[in-house]
Structure 1
Amino acid sequence: MEIPTSEISIIETTSVSFTIVIPFRNEEAHLLNLVNSLNALKFPKDRFEIIFINDESNDSSIHIINKTIEPSINYTILENVLRTNSPKKDAITLAISKAKGTWIVTTDADCEVPKTWLIEYTKAIKTFDAKMLCAPVSINDSKGLLSKYQQADILSLQGVTMGSFGTGNPLLCNGANLAFEKKAFQLVNGYEGNSHLASGDDVFMLQKMKAKFPDRVHFLKSNDAIVITQPVTSWSALINQRIRWASKTAKVKHKSSLMLGLLVFMVNFLWIIILILGILAISTWYNAAVFIFLKIVVDALFIKKMKLWMGIQLSFLHILLSGFIYPFITCFVTIKSQFFNYQWKGRLY
């Protein structure tokens, strides 16, 4: 695919090469879209490779990759070797040990990447002299309240992520769209120190990179670098996914991250309590309604600003409905993640 002249000059003046790392486990429903998006990448084929890591799949995932990927693309499929309590970290670590690229880019098997993905990363690496780059993630547009809720939720997460980078104190990132220098990964000893935790390959790496290279970790704020992921298809799957995300919160050493998590829980817990008091005691209903309304509206205005930047079509009604559901899911997930096990892709953690 033809690359504009201005972008060719940027690519030619850097020695950056990429290894795209993609762990997968029974992803036959999603891999076709991912591989097709990889086939469409606008980047010299000799400057990137793709390493897929099969994590004990028993479906047709491998067949789909081999059948769909362009012959001109350099790719490898590795079998994961489980060494810790985190299959995903094991998979990424294995891939990096085999990687030929100077930079590692991670994404998930249920994602689609933009054509200009690696070009945008190359620009940012050169501009910031970066060691790590965190980039935006969006949810594929689907009908139904569940999908719209996930869109609103990820918009709020992306807003917090971008805002924290803007203050110089990054708190969040998403492994579906993340890049770091291979040498930097080795200098911080990879996932050593948190490999016993099933999740957190993204946030823990962010913390280690920020501690080692405080001025060389940046957010890639570009619409042309947005990775699209697929929404889960049931509320129970959503709960399990959020529990997996939240399970690492108590293990995070970054005080700002801990305080943010506690603040989010307390505000939403208070919201529920005030709602209950308003229902049970008519005399307090006015105060309850004011608090509930203000929180939902403030959240909605924040999400509206983010959806305009990310180009997501999300009605104000869906934003309001999501704002009403959010406190219940957040409080339930927070409590369950700290005291109970959870299942993910057929495994118990």
Structure 2
Amino acid sequence: MIFSVLIAARNEAGALPWLLRDLAAQTLPAARFEVLVADDHSTDATAALVAEAAREVGFSLRLVPLGPVQTGKKAALLAALQVAQAPWLVCTDADCRVGSGWLVAYAARVAQLPRANFISGPVLLTGPATFLHLLVGLEFAGLVGVGAACLARRRATMCNGANLAYRRAAFEAVGGFADNAHVASGDDEFLLHKIHAAYPGTVHFLADAASTVRTAAPATLRALLRQRVRWASKWRHYQSAAPRRLALLVLGANVALAAGVGAGLVGPALWPWAVAAWAVKLGADAWFLWPVLGFFGRRRWLWGLLPLQVLYAPYALAVGAAGWGGGYVWKGRAVR
């Protein structure tokens, strides 16, 4: 056995059957992986669903219930990890979908890079063809691309817990989640930063379309903002300088563009400079996103670059300010 697939689930009875079907369709032989679903005190039929599926699927599937004082995604992943049997831990979310070649792609990457300790995979947002989904999907594809490019440059900045894998020995060597267990979010990026710091050159990106994990984009603007505030709440806890610098660079560039428009309204002579700055920024973004969107088969999203740029500065400032406060509601729980 090479992989233990860890899935933290809370009230996912509606989504989890689809993921279990995808796992049953893996082209990697069933003897080479196991699936552990950690039930985070679900109040729906999640636990019963997994228990029933374990008797029917053709791979090793186990339910791992959390104890009374254990709550949250990190606690769920840790509970699953404690009973996992494989040297590599592959993580995804209960509401995700994976292709049949998902684990085979990871197996090939592990074989190709025998010294690897952490592998980040691509994630694609799916949803209806709405303007909101276009902008959210484009932004998210950009984040995936930036994370991959930084890893190629041996700068660990961002990844997504919906699609990643790490060596169990490396997880234990860096202390796992112990030093950030008080932060509800960050089960992915904190670990990425720590393994990169402890084992430079052993963190990689899996640029294989077969490894893409698909997950539904937030359906409403309110849901989007709540998700992004949750993500932003971990920024102030980063120990690594690289993601802090990247976040400040991105925020500064977008605020500067908005300020340029304001300056042009006050002093018309400044308009050529403002227009030139916008042209350079949009051109650079299009150049960067073209191969990323091609990888995902979503180059049609590129037309949303201009409206996304117009909206990004106030959006980023609002989310950053709300995330700095650290409070949000997730899965029916108030988190500080």
TM-score, normalising length from structure 1?
0.88
Please say which of residues 32-41 and 198-207 is displaced more in the overlay.
32-41
Q: Helix, strand or coil: the match of 2:300?
A: coil
Matched, 1:128 2:132: no
| Residue 253 (structure 1) aligned to one of 239, 264, 279 | 239
| Residue 54 (structure 1) aligned to one of 39, 44, 49 | 39
| Residue 101 (structure 2) aligned to one of 108, 116, 124 | 116
1:42: Cα distance to partner? 1.0
Which structure 1 residue ranges, 5 or more long, are not aligned? 1-15
| Residue 186 (structure 1) aligned to one of 164, 172, 176 | 172
Matches within 5 A, 1:18-167: 18-66=3-51, 70-81=56-67, 87-129=72-114, 130-167=116-153
8 Å Cα contact 1:296/1:324 also seen in 2: no
Give distance in 1, aligned partners of 2:107 and 2:301: 35
1:99: Cα distance to partner? 0.6
8 Å Cα contact 1:82/1:90 also seen in 2: no
1:202: Cα distance to partner? 0.7
**Structural RMSD (CA):** 2.1
1:317: Cα distance to partner? 2.5
Q: Helix, strand or coil: the match of 1:348?
A: strand
- Aligned residue in 2 for 1:3: none
Q: How many corresponding residue pairs?
A: 333
Which structure 2 residue ranges, 5 or more long, are not aligned? none
1:340: Cα distance to partner? 5.2
8 Å Cα contact 1:45/1:72 also seen in 2: yes
Q: Helix, strand or coil: the match of 1:314?
A: helix
1:137: Cα distance to partner? 1.1
Give distance in 2, aligned partners of 1:344 and 1:219: 28
Matched, 1:327 2:331: no
8 Å Cα contact 1:81/1:90 also seen in 2: no
- Aligned residue in 2 for 1:347: 333
Q: Helix, strand or coil: the match of 1:315?
A: helix
Please say which of residues 198-207 and 61-70 is displaced more in the overlay.
61-70
- Aligned residue in 1 for 2:225: 239
Q: Helix, strand or coil: the match of 2:214?
A: strand
Give distance in 2, aligned partners of 1:174 and 1:57: 23
Q: Helix, strand or coil: the match of 2:295?
A: helix
Give distance in 1, aligned partners of 2:147 and 2:49: 34
Matched, 1:292 2:286: no
Give distance in 2, aligned partners of 1:188 and 1:82: 27
8 Å Cα contact 2:174/2:195 also seen in 1: yes
8 Å Cα contact 1:268/1:331 also seen in 2: no
TM-score, normalising length from structure 2?
0.91
Structure 1 residues 51 and 205: alpha-carbon distance in aligned structure 2, compared to 1, 3 A threshold = same
1:279: Cα distance to partner? 4.4
1:225: Cα distance to partner? 0.9
Structure 1 residues 280 and 77: alpha-carbon distance in aligned structure 2, compared to 1, 3 A threshold = farther
Structure 1 residues 326 and 49: alpha-carbon distance in aligned structure 2, compared to 1, 3 A threshold = same
Matched, 1:198 2:184: yes
Structure 1 residues 285 and 227: alpha-carbon distance in aligned structure 2, compared to 1, 3 A threshold = same
